[in-house]
Amino acid sequence: MADQHKNDTTHFGYEDVRTEDKVNRVADVFHSVAGKYDLMNDLMSGGVHRLWKRITIEQSGVRTGNTILDIAGGTGDLTMRFSRLVGPSGKVVLADINDSMLKVGRDKLLDKGVTGNVEFVQANAECLPFPDNTFDVITIAFGLRNVTDKDAALRSMARVLKPGGKLMVLEFSKTDNPLLTKAYDFYSFNILPQMGSMIAGDADSYRYLAESIRMHPDQETLKSMMQDAGLTNCKFQNMTGGIVALHTGIKP
């Protein structure tokens, strides 16, 4: 059975790779880009990623004393805001599978004086190392598309949510505007790798990121996957013409 699983394949962007190899391939991407991640996010989105994240924060309903899990939290943009909202009586766990991203995030938050109520955990979203019913809110921003088994990850997130807790998935998605799609494709596959090469010294990683967006489930599919994971009241909100969508679901 184990040998059979080794022959399973999945997609790494547009490339088919062995399932067991994808985690390492994705890790290599983020080891490569970690140091320039924040700068590239600002350049790639024209700063709009800050608006997408602000909307996520505003709709989270996070209050003083809450316990928050920020999965694929990377360089800590959401964690920093959540830390202020939950206050000294709350806690925010910044989790990322990639130790390079986690180190950049930890250093950035320490530099900004964000300490005390933040914990850093290296963790795989598919098998989160937390007890059942732990968190009031879980966010995963621009991370789900890099997860090999998305269904397993969603089930894992649902497991560690408290009853009544909210999962929020902020991710690149699909636009149904043909003109916008054409412009976005040109930008993603022509401009983006060049920017990656000039700024981060790595065109291939940004080419993978563009491809991974195209391979990610569309809005309705992801909504169904969240429902299948046991969440209720699942819905999504398109932003920037559907280039990004914010999915939410509640643990019954």
Q: Point out the annotated binding site for S-adenosyl-L-methionine.
A: 75, 96, 124-125
What is the number of H-type helices and E-type strands within the chain? 11, 9
DSSP 3-state of 92: strand
Determine the Cα–Cα distance for residues 250 and 252; give it in Å rounded to an integer: 6
Q: Residue 104: which of 149, 15, 184, 40 has the closest Cα?
A: 40
Q: What amino acid occupies position 72? A: A
Backbone φ and ψ for 59, nearest 5 degrees, come out as: -90, 0
- Tell me how far apart the alpha carbons of residues 151 and 225 are, in angstroms, rounded to a whole number: 7
- Partners of 140 in beta bridges: 71, 169
Cα-based torsion angle of the residue sequence 97, 103, 104, 109 in order, rounded to the nearest 10 degrees: 110
Binding residues: 75, 96, 124-125
By the 10 Å C-beta count (0-12 exposed, 13-18 middle, 19+ buried), 181 is classed as middle
